[in-house]
Structure 1
Amino acid sequence: MSRRIYWLVPDVASAQQVLKDLLLARITERQIHFVGRDGMDLSGLPTANILQTSDVVRAAQMGLVVGGATGAAAGVLAAVWFPIVGDTPQWGIAAVLAMIGGGFGAWAASMIGVSTPSGRLRRFEGAIEQGQILLMVDVPASRVKEIEKLLGASHPEAKFEGEEPNIPAFP
């Protein structure tokens, strides 16, 4: 299981040095994510993507649940009150409408979630707006202390901001 470690780095030069140190510690670029304020030049640094900086995943999950439940409820009503063939309820329509509702709900909610900042990063917004750079490193649980010690010793200018034990599977 991986854990996400958060650090605040004061500037781009420091972030580039942190990146080099992490790469030398055999942390891949895929596991390293930097977030800076809008317009900040982070070229040469692996920046966080939309899945890591927005609430799109959580919103899509909620949309799937709400849309699926709404579709299932509408399907049950349609199956009971408006059977397609004969007088017996057609339960297949409930399953079909649940899948359609879930898909539509996930799509619609993800369109909203993509423009909503991540709740996981909300506590860092002030520091990022002041020009600091947020570093997120996803490492196996067995290497967390090692990486924290490495960055703490080699980068006193960086500030450790904690770790998160439950990171999403793909963002």
Structure 2
Amino acid sequence: MKRLFYLVDQMDSVESISEDLHNEGITDWRFHVLSRDEAGLFTRKLHSASIFDRTDLARYTERGAIAGALFAMAFIVTAKLTGALVLPAVAWVALFLFMTAAGAWLAGFGGIGVENYRIRRFHDAIENGQHLVMVDVRKKDEQRMKELMASNHPDAQLQSEDSAFNNPLVEEDGKVHIL
């Protein structure tokens, strides 16, 4: 899946885009709008961006799970090799799962307060009253969607394209960073 990012100036245009996307079979689950005017989105029954679209909660949680799993592996291997802790196999698995979950949970607290890395570059535009329209399309439908938007909504400018899935190791500069 690919996510297309469009900036739009008017809420009427966003509503028209929503109608066209619905007519093309794009459901609310694959179409999100990020706007400072949340009341306008609600009034017009437009699908507002979720907390996962707004914040880095998912990406930080994934990073925390990776870090927790690595820490758990280091702890368990050290404990097994030194014989410092003697536990049945099921206890080692439970300990690994607990430490992985704890890492994810703790990191999630950091992610909930951070703007999503993919929309950070649109922050000023959104604060200045523009609306960010995010459309998730299959690769085979991508060109048709771009043509539809260009012909029916010339005021919606394609700003960026990205994967619809989070990558816990990629920063907004597009480079992979290891924790």
The two structures share one fold, judged by TM-score above 0.5 = yes
The match for 2:70 is 69
The match for 2:13 is 14
The match for 1:109 is 107
Residue 56 in structure 1 maps to residue 54 in structure 2: no
Based on CA coordinates, which of the two structures has the bigger radius of gyration?
1
> C-alpha offsets along residues 88-126 of structure 1, whole Å, 9 cap, x if unaligned?
xx5745544322111100111112212211001111111
1:72–1:94 distance in 2 versus 1, CA, 3 Å? farther
Deviation at 1:31, TM superposition (A): 1.2
Q: How many residues were matched structurally?
A: 162
The match for 2:177 is none
**Structure 2 counterpart of 1:135, one-letter code:** V
The normalised TM-score by structure 2 is 0.81
Deviation at 1:127, TM superposition (A): 0.7
Deviation at 1:152, TM superposition (A): 1.1
After TM superposition, the structure 1 stretch with the greater mean CA deviation from structure 2, 114-123 or 37-46, is 37-46
Deviation at 1:40, TM superposition (A): 5.0
The match for 2:3 is 4
The match for 1:87 is none
Aligned-partner SS, 2:62: helix
Structure-1 separation of matches of 2:28 and 2:85: 56
The match for 2:84 is 82
The percentage of aligned residue pairs carrying the same residue is 29
Structure-2 separation of matches of 1:131 and 1:141: 30
**Structure 2 counterpart of 1:159, one-letter code:** Q
Aligned-partner SS, 1:42: helix
Contiguous gaps of at least 5 residues in structure 1 = 85-89
Contiguous gaps of at least 5 residues in structure 2 = 167-179
Root-mean-square deviation over aligned CA pairs? 2.0
Structure-1 separation of matches of 2:9 and 2:73: 51
> C-alpha offsets along residues 31-50 of structure 1, whole Å, 9 cap, x if unaligned?
11000026552111011111
Partners of 1:73 and 1:94 within 8 A in 2: no
The normalised TM-score by structure 1 is 0.85
The match for 1:151 is 149
Aligned-partner SS, 2:102: helix
Structure-1 separation of matches of 2:8 and 2:70: 44
**Structure 2 counterpart of 1:128, one-letter code:** I
> C-alpha offsets along residues 135-158 of structure 1, whole Å, 9 cap, x if unaligned?
011111111111111111111222
Partners of 2:7 and 2:131 within 8 A in 1: yes
